[in-house]
Amino acid sequence: MPLDEFVQSLVKVNPGKNSFLSTYLDLRPEGRGKKLHSIFLKNRMSELAQIFPAHSREQALLARDIKRVQKYVEEKLDPSWKGIALFACAAEDFFLPIPLPLPPENEMALSSRPHLFSLMGQADLFRPYAIIAADSRQARLFWIQDGRLAKQRSLVWEEEHTTRFGRMGLSLQKFQRHIQEHTRQRMKEAVENLLKWAGRDKMEYLFTITEEGMEGEMKKHLPLSLKKKQASLSRVDSRDPDHKILSAAFEAIQALSRERAESLARQLLEEAQPLGKATAGPEPTLSALQSHQVERLVLDRRFQAEGWECKSCGYQGTGGVPKACPLCQGATAPAELREAVVYLGQTQEIDLAFTDNYRPLVKAGGIGAMLKFHISGKKGR
Ligand SMILES: [Zn+2]
């Protein structure tokens, strides 16, 4: 299932107060194969077990969630996974494990809603992409989905022309034409094979690694929609081993994701003035989100701020917790702002981008948004 669908199923669970358990685990072994996540889990579970009164309904539900997480971690983890997110809510009989492309920071939180900040920070890495590594003898095709290698294929061609060249007595000119024709056929075959896997529009990127002179020929066979998604990976060679090619493409995806977020951040910082087309900083961004004005949201991975939530009307605010909600006088409770913002963004299906310690955005409060239309005060068109 694509990540978007998982996330939509997560925001539809409505368990009420403090009954959603979100767990993120860094699965990398530390030193002599020792797993730090199991120590983290053990400590955090005993802390959480003390939150509710003994024998209460909440306590029983939480115990069920914890047991389910524990069982999954003991039995189902794949050694190749770098991290995992587990969402559990026994009150709604909901349980969802999502393996992560990058190790997250360990976290186990009980709250009214799922914690999505860490998951969404990796969302770009779940998008499907393809790689073609080709030279005159072979082409290797890779299809990556949800951060993992989903399909792989090798096309091997016999190098007959070089041996036959002398025997056939071809002129140099004819020989070169002959090679060109081979390259043309081979690139066509490689692209056709790739298109069989991937619906054209589902593919986010196409990375190519080709021998000199082959890239142009390959591009000729790409449909227009894929030409825009094509980028060559220059740091690796078409004869490099699979793992090297895969990690180069993974790094390229991360770089593209970061660049996209930074350019969006630059744009919104330029346009964020009073009555502008963008907001910068927690307060105006949260307020725009709650009035459904946000088109795109940018957060820095380091964004961390305190906020609060009204328990009766659901209104959210930044900073210290007021005694009563200014809107409805209802009771208030502290809330982690980054989680509140990402959750709200997902309920509205807003496009999120994450910068990684990008100074200009961090200085502006670590968060900002491009708006759908001008904030009130200026007459709309
Ligand atoms: Zn209220």
Residues 265 and 381 in one domain: yes
Cβ(149)–Cβ(246) under 8 Å? Answer: yes
Q: Does the pLDDT of residue 214 top 90, yes or no?
A: no
Question: How many domains does the chain fold into?
Answer: 3
Same structural domain, 262 and 225: no
Spacing, Cα 309 to ligand 1 middle (Å): 8
- How close is the Cα of 151 to the center of ligand 1, in Å? 51
Q: How many CB atoms lie within 10 A of CB 98?
A: 20
pLDDT for 361 beyond 90: yes
Same domain assignment for residues 12 and 74: yes
Residue 224 Cα to ligand 1 middle (Å): 51
pLDDT in tens, 81-93: 899 999 999 988 9
The answer on pLDDT for 217 being more than 90 is no
Residue 172: the pLDDT is 79
Considering the domain boundaries, does residue 296 fall inside one?
Answer: yes
The residues near 364 (Cβ < 8 Å, ≥ 6 apart) are 269, 272, 280, 281
pTM to 2 decimals? Answer: 0.88
133 and 97, same structural domain?
Answer: no
Residue 381, pLDDT above cutoff 60: no
State mean pLDDT over 291-308.
94
In a shared domain, residues 111 and 153:
no
pLDDT in tens, 32-77: 666 788 889 999 998 998 888 888 998 999 999 999 999 999 999 9
Distance of CA 61 from the midpoint of ligand 1 (Å): 28
Q: What is the CA radius of gyration of the chain?
A: 26
CA 332 to ligand 1 centroid distance, Å = 8
- Assess whether 272 and 377 both reside in one domain: yes
Ion ligand 1 neighbours, Cβ < 5 Å: 310, 313, 315, 325, 327-328, 330
Q: What is the CATH number of the domain that holds 351?
A: 3.30.1330.30
Confirm whether 245 is domain-assigned.
no
Token code pair at residue 218: 């390959």
Is residue 246 included in any domain, yes or no? no
The answer to whether position 251 is within a domain reads no
Among 83, 115, 147, which residue terminates a domain? 115
Residue 313 has pLDDT above 90, yes or no: no
pLDDT for the residue 312: 86
Question: For residue 252, is it within any domain?
Answer: no
Same domain, 273 and 369: yes
Range of the domain at 163: 126-240
pLDDT at residue 375 tops 80: no
**348-352 mean pLDDT:** 94
CATH code at position 9: 3.30.960.10
219 shares a domain with 164: yes
Determine the pLDDT at residue 379: 45
The 10s digit of each residue's pLDDT in 242-276 is 999 999 999 999 999 999 999 999 999 998 876 68
Last residue of a domain, one of 240, 268, 299: 240
Residue 261 confidence (pLDDT): 97
Kindly report the CATH number assigned to the domain that includes residue 193. 3.30.420.60
Return all residues near 186 (Cβ < 8 A) that are at least 6 apart. 134, 136, 139, 155, 157
Evaluate if residue 163 carries a pLDDT over 60: no
| pLDDT band (50, 70, 90) for residue 97 | very high
Average pLDDT over all residues of the chain? 88
Residue 196 CB contacts under 8 Å (≥ 6 apart), including other chains: none
What is the CA(316)–ligand 1 centre distance, in A? Answer: 8
Could you tell me if 187 and 289 lie in one domain?
no
Residues 136, 211 contacting (CB under 8 angstroms): yes
